[in-house]
């Protein structure tokens, strides 16, 4: 039935900006200034090194996305190549990651607004939570609309909230460049630059997002690899350039806390423009909230259609062609996390640090999920050779093996690195481990329920889900001519 299918409404520019909007975070306005004193002026080299592990994941995502051009690609890929348990736990962990993301970003949005308008410190927690809920509800409803309009909204948010403000800073910093700041380039040697690159890798996490909306991208075999290639080149360029300008303007032995603080201290822009930039940076939070709803609701939609989750969550709005029940689940989880974790952690860490600790949960879950996805790229050609042959981007099996192994190893290493931070490690352990155990128990219960109902889930995993229909005038004309020919015959 047409009303039960998603539509391919995302073109190449939309796909590019969905990736960029999801990957770019607030850290680019903090990390280059904060780490400058540790690395020296070579901090921009850290961003060049940090992208290397990200290249493995982007390469794998380009291959898998063109081989599995379906909605909820991460679930579909893992379930078909790693089994039902892997597929179930993938979506279960995605719900945790998105709930944490929404709580983290919603609280951050409220916190920054509170700072701008001068909310007292003792009222900041609940102000941040309430504003966060309002923001999440707004983006929830923006994701009700057709994917074409939703993709256009993300494009606008990313251009103005992420890219435009970075360009403003880079251009404003050109007249203030002090080339003497780069002497010496490595005041503490190369090791600090390398270690900082390890932490900067988190600035490149998010390329696998394209797998979630692969079923709604036009011409996915070509556009998914193109979108990833263009995105990764752009992100490396803009990150490196911004870090270079920070080093060029600010002496490394005179540290500052944030890039916006640097702008104010150096007088690079009038106060009014700095204020506008601050508002745009706050708005940029929406460029990550929006695709979080958009993309990961598709995994819930797909697993529910295959009945490992409640079937009601696999419904599509007849007119808008969006998975509203799945979106609603993510909204509820995000609000629950906002009202629990932020107030619980805030007395110990403060509102913003509490939100950042929740982002560590997101980072760990994303890295964990990258491991089976990386391994899936190795097993796909052997297990499903027909899908490998149909892939729009078809690397050699040797290349896939190398990239898959490197992607899995680097993801595992970075999961381990999170636990080197005592606070982040504690929060991650207290949230992720019990949550995972509950998910494993629920899978066993759901599997027995399916067996009693006579549903052969293993048979389902041998096939790809039904592809979403492609909405275009050309296709409609072709279909009409085909029907006319059939009636004549």
DSSP H stretches of helix in 250-323:
259-266, 271-284, 286-305
Provide Rg for the chain, Cα atoms: 23
DSSP-derived letter for residue 217 is B
Instruction: Report CA dihedral (446, 451, 453, 457) to the nearest 10 degrees.
Output: 80
Q: Are 289 and 338 in contact (CB under 8 A)?
A: no
**Residue 476: per-residue pLDDT:** 41
Cα separation, 331 vs 329, in Å, equals 5
C-alpha distances (whole Å) from 16 to each of 153, 178, 201, 406, 470 are 13, 34, 20, 24, 19
Q: Which of 172, 195, 179, 196 is nearest to 274 (CA)?
A: 172
DSSP H stretches of helix in 40-164:
43-67, 73-82, 84-117, 124-142, 147-157
Q: Which of 153, 109, 116, 114 is nearest to 134 (CA)?
A: 109
Q: Is 7 helix (H, G, I), strand (E, B) or coil?
A: strand
What are the mean pLDDT values of the chain's consecutive 10-residue runs (489 residues total)? Answer: 64 92 84 91 95 93 91 91 92 95 91 87 92 96 90 90 92 95 94 88 88 89 94 96 96 88 90 86 87 92 91 88 94 96 89 84 91 93 88 91 95 87 88 95 92 83 65 42 47
> What is the distance, to the nearest Å, from the Cα of residue 45 to the centroid of all Cα atoms in its chain?
24
The answer, yes or no, to whether the previous bond of 184 is cis (omega within 30 of 0) is yes
DSSP string for 222-234 = HHHHHHHHHHHHH
> What is the distance, to the nearest Å, from the Cα of residue 152 to the centroid of all Cα atoms in its chain?
17
Cα separation, 364 vs 374, in Å, equals 15
C-alpha distances (whole Å) from 33 to each of 127, 244, 250, 276, 363 are 28, 11, 8, 20, 22
Q: Are 330 and 296 in contact (CB under 8 A)?
A: yes
In this prediction, what percent of the chain has a pLDDT beyond 70?
94
The model's pTM is 0.87
CATH architecture assigned to 2-488: Up-down Bundle (1.20)
Q: Are 104 and 363 in contact (CB under 8 A)?
A: no
Which residue, chain included where needed, has tokens 């790693």? 82
Structural domain boundaries in the chain = 2-488
Cα separation, 111 vs 353, in Å, equals 11
Phi (first) and psi of residue 449, to 5 degrees = -65, -40
**Residue 4: per-residue pLDDT:** 56
As a whole number of angstroms, the longest Cα–Cα distance in the chain is: 82
In tens, the pLDDT along 396-448 reads: 999 999 999 999 999 999 888 888 888 888 989 999 999 999 999 999 999 89
């Amino acid at each position: 039935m047409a009303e039960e299918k998603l539509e391919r409404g995302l073109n190449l520019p939309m796909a590019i900006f969905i990736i960029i909007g999801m990957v770019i975070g607030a850290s680019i306005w903090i990390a280059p200034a904060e780490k400058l004193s540790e690395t020296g002026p070579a901090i921009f080299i850290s961003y060049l090194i940090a992208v290397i592990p990200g290249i493995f994941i982007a390469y794998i995502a380009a291959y898998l996305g063109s081989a599995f051009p379906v909605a909820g690609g991460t679930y579909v890929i893992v379930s078909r190549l790693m089994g039902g348990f892997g597929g179930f736990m993938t979506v279960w962990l995605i719900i945790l990651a998105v709930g944490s993301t929404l709580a983290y970003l919603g609280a951050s949005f409220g916190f920054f607004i509170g700072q701008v308008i001068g909310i007292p410190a003792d009222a900041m927690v609940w102000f941040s939570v309430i504003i966060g809920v309002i923001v999440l509800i707004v983006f929830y409803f923006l994701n009700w609309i057709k994917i074409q309009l939703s993709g256009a909204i993300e494009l606008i948010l990313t251009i103005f909230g992420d890219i435009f403000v970075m360009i403003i800073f880079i251009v404003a910093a050109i007249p203030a460049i002090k080339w003497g700041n780069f002497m010496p380039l490595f005041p503490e040697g190369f090791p600090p630059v390398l270690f900082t690159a390890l932490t900067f890798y988190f600035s490149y996490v998010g390329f696998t997002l394209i797998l979630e909306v692969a079923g709604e991208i036009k011409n996915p075999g070509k556009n998914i690899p193109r979108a990833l290639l263009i995105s990764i080149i752009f992100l490396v360029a803009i990150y490196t350039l911004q870090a270079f300008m920070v080093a060029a303007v600010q002496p490394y032995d005179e540290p500052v806390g944030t890039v916006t603080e640097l702008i104010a201290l150096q007088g690079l822009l009038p106060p009014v423009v700095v204020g506008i930039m601050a508002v745009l940076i706050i708005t940029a939070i929406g460029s990550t909230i929006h695709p979080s709803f958009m993309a990961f609701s598709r995994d819930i939609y797909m697993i529910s259609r295959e009945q490992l989750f409640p079937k009601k969550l696999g419904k599509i709005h007849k007119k808008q062609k969006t998975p509203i029940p799945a979106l609603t689940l993510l909204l509820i989880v995000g609000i629950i996390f906002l009202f629990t974790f932020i107030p619980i952690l805030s007395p110990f860490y403060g509102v913003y640090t509490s939100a950042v600790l929740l982002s560590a949960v997101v980072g760990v879950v994303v890295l964990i999920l990258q491991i089976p996805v990386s391994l899936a790229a190795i097993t796909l050609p052997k297990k499903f050779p027909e899908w490998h042959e149909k892939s729009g981007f078809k690397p050699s099996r040797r290349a896939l093996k190398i990239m898959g192994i490197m992607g899995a190893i680097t993801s595992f290493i970075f999961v381990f690195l999170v636990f080197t931070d005592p606070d982040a490690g504690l929060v991650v352990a207290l949230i992720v481990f019990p949550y995972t155990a509950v998910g494993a128990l629920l899978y066993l219960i759901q599997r027995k329920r399916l067996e009693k109902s006579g549903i052969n889930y293993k048979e389902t995993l041998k096939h790809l889900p039904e592809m979403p229909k492609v909405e275009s005038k050309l296709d409609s004309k072709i279909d009409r001519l085909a029907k006319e020919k059939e009636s004549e015959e």
